[in-house]
Amino acid sequence: MNRFRRVVIVVLDSAGIGALPDAALWGDSGTDTIGHVLAAENPSLPNLQRLGLANIRPFPNLAPVEKPEGAYGRAAILSRGKDTTVGHWEIAGIITQTPFPTYPDGFPDRILVPFKKAIKRDILGNVPASGTQIIQELGEEHIRTGKPIVYTSADSVFQIAAHEEVIPPAELYRMCEEARIILTGDDCVARVIARPFVGTPGNFQRTANRKDFAIQPPGPTLLDELMARGLATIGIGKIASIFDYRGISQNLSAHSNAETVDQTVAALAYASEGLIFSNLVDFDMLWGHRRDSKGYAQGLAEFDRRLPELQEALGSEDCLIICADHGNDPKAHGSDHTREYVPVLVYGKELQGGVNLGTRVSLSDIGQTAAENFGFCLSNGKSFLHLLQ
């Protein structure tokens, strides 16, 4: 018999809690996303505090509680990477041994020549850049010439931005499909991303018509195994795109933290037995990459305010796991993700609180815990289900 009828995994995208032992190899010594945000901004997080966030490790401006309401711990990332794809794949049981390629100097001719031939246009950009900044810099020239803006970041991504009145989203998606075909082998980036925008020079804004073209995980994931057993697998926000829409029984759209919480609460009102998997993207996209510690703090405080709503929506046989997929320290140099431990907080209305889960060797322990609950085993991870009494 399953211990829980439903498992809800909520990923606070990029909410790391301190540098991993190998962080120096990634240029991330001393990084501490939540710790530095707490030190700089002192947001009010009473509900996360009650669950046991400050019991995981000492934090500035956040004291541990005597009797946490949840189980608490931290997890390392075993995968060779520090981005959304490898983090979520690892949560679902896939450990990435070879890092996805990145292009700090832009894309080479072996990629761009066949790409331009396929789309029958020249391009603009071809640099690592902030998506909001590059459309302000090149948007006017793009409108004048019709050339799409190609750019990357510290992540393994090939991004194409285009004004919706110049290159309609359907045509932009076709361009992304052409890029996805070209980007194979050593150039197999994790994601090709369509970035439509609208507006006029000086006032360009990205739209909600973003679309990701990811690669499929190299083996069966928690989602695949659940679906094979006829169980629900509800992906909220960008979850479905991270897994290239594989293993998802229902994809619920959400474009912000607030919408993601709304959709998670809504799913809890009707979802049958299985998994609800949600990603709160704003922490990473809006505040981590932009090194905005104040915005990050406000986002944490807003999630904390809504946490009781999530808890109340749970049934007596449900389990809520709050975690992250990597770090993105607003106080770090540059704009890249940071290689950090992530928090693991577990709550259920019938669960005894105060359980110390310790330091988990891999994020895949989360997926393995869910798998054991539903009666099967993944190839990676060590379950902590037995600790959840």
- As a whole number, the mean pLDDT across the chain is 96
Query: Is the model's pLDDT at 11 over the cut of 50?
Result: yes
- CB-based contacts of 276, cutoff 8 Å, min separation 6: 6, 7, 8, 9, 232, 234, 236, 264, 267, 268
Residue with tokens 């980007």: 183
The region of weakest confidence among 128-137, 368-377, 380-389 is 128-137
Q: Determine the pLDDT at residue 141.
A: 97
Query: Is the model's pLDDT at 364 over the cut of 90?
Result: yes
Q: What is the pLDDT of residues 65-105, one digit of tens each?
A: 999 999 999 999 999 999 999 999 999 999 999 989 999 99
Q: What is the pLDDT of residues 249-287, one digit of tens each?
A: 999 999 999 999 999 999 999 999 999 999 999 999 899
Query: Is the model's pLDDT at 155 over the cut of 90?
Result: no
User: Please, which pLDDT band fits residue 352 given cuts at 50, 70 and 90?
Assistant: confident
Q: Determine the pLDDT at residue 2.
A: 65
Domains within the chain, CATH numbers bracketed:
6-94+217-387 (3.40.720.10), 109-213 (3.30.70.1250)
Structural tokens at position 331: 């106080």
Number of H helices, E strands in the chain: 13, 14
Instruction: Indicate the pTM of the whole model.
Output: 0.93
What b/e sequence results for 82-111 when a residue is b if at least 16 CB atoms lie within 10 Å of its CB, and e otherwise?
bbbbbbbbbbbbbbbeeebebbeeebeeeb
Q: Determine the pLDDT at residue 200.
A: 96
How crowded is residue 303: how many other Cβ atoms within 10 Å of its Cβ? 25
Q: Determine the pLDDT at residue 1.
A: 47
Confirm if 16 and 34 have CB atoms less than 8 A apart.
yes
Query: Is the model's pLDDT at 57 over the cut of 70?
Result: yes
Q: Determine the pLDDT at residue 74.
A: 98
User: Please, which pLDDT band fits residue 132 given cuts at 50, 70 and 90?
Assistant: confident
Alpha carbon distance 24, 27 (integer Å) = 5
Q: What is the pLDDT of residues 180-212, one digit of tens each?
A: 999 999 999 999 999 999 999 999 999 989 999
Q: What is the pLDDT of residues 216-258, one digit of tens each?
A: 999 999 999 999 999 999 999 999 999 999 999 999 999 999 9
What b/e sequence results for 322-336 when a residue is b if at least 16 CB atoms lie within 10 Å of its CB, and e otherwise?
bbbbbbbbbbbeebb
User: Please, which pLDDT band fits residue 341 given cuts at 50, 70 and 90?
Assistant: very high
